[in-house]
Amino acid sequence: MRYVISMIIMIMMIGCTRSEVNYMMATGEPPPLFFKITDMKTMNNFVFDTKKFSFKFPKPKKEDFTLGKGWQGMSFRDGNGIALDSLAGHIDIAFENYYPQKVTKYERAILDNNLTYIRSHIRIDPDDKLYIRHYGKESYLCTVMEYTKSCKCYKNDKYMGVRCYKFNPSKTEYECVIITLTYSKPLDPKLARIFTYEDLKKRARRMLDSLYIKSLW
C-alpha cells in the first residue's frame, strides 16, 4: 500500500497526461497496466520498450521467486512511467515531460559539474549524497542523490534518485528520465541479509546501463 501511495505522489510530481497524448509501446501495442514476472528467464530477457525510452529490468536472483512473489509492476502515464515492486525494494522510472525542455541555469550547472549550484537549488540535507555519473546506452549525464529517511511511518528507508539528461547537440534543449529506488529493510533477519540496499543498487545498475532515451534529435 505504501508503495502505491509513493507511486501516486510521483505521478503528481511529474505531471498528468495531456488528453491529446496517447503513446503506445514501440511495438504498437498498448503498455500493460499491470504485469507480474515469476521466473528469472523472463526477467533477464524482457526489455520494456516505449516510444519515449527503453530499459532492461533489474537483474534478478532466485530468492526473488523462492522467498518472494517475483516482481510485480504497473505502468502509468500511457506507459511513460513504470513502477516495480519486490522483496528487494521499489523502483520507479518515468519520463519527466512529454516534450523537450529548454536548458536553464540549473541544467548548465549539471553540464559544468557544479554541485554547489545544484545543491543550492534543490531540497537536500547536508548529509545527503549528491554526485554526477554517466549511465545509459549513450552515456547520459545523470545526477544522483542518496539519502535515508527516518520517520514514524518509514523508519530508515533508503532512497536513490537518479535523473538522466539527454541534451540536443547545441545544448539548448534536453529530455530527462527519472529513476527512483526505495529500499526498506525487511523485518525478517534472514531476508534482511539477502535483500540489502547495496544489493538493490547493484541489481538496478542494469536498468541504468541499458537505458535508452529516444528523442527528436
Domain boundaries defined on the chain: 2-213
Can you give the pLDDT at residue 28?
A: 59
- Cα gap 8→199, rounded to integer Å: 26
User: Can you tell me the mean pLDDT for 18-41?
Assistant: 67
Which residues contact residue 4 at a Cβ distance below 8 angstroms, ignoring those fewer than 6 apart? Answer: none
- pLDDT-derived band at 26, boundaries 50, 70, 90: low
Which residues contact residue 77 at a Cβ distance below 8 angstroms, ignoring those fewer than 6 apart? Answer: 11, 14, 16, 17, 94, 95
Query: Would you give the distance in Å from CA 133 to the centre of its chain?
Result: 15
- Cα gap 53→95, rounded to integer Å: 8
47-49 sheet: strands from edge to edge: 47-49, 53-56, 212-213
Can you give the pLDDT at residue 14?
A: 35
Q: Percentage of the chain surpassing pLDDT 70?
A: 81
Tens digit of pLDDT for each residue in 98-151? 889 999 999 999 999 999 999 999 999 999 999 999 999 999 999 999 998 765
Residue 121 φ then ψ, to 5° = -120, 15
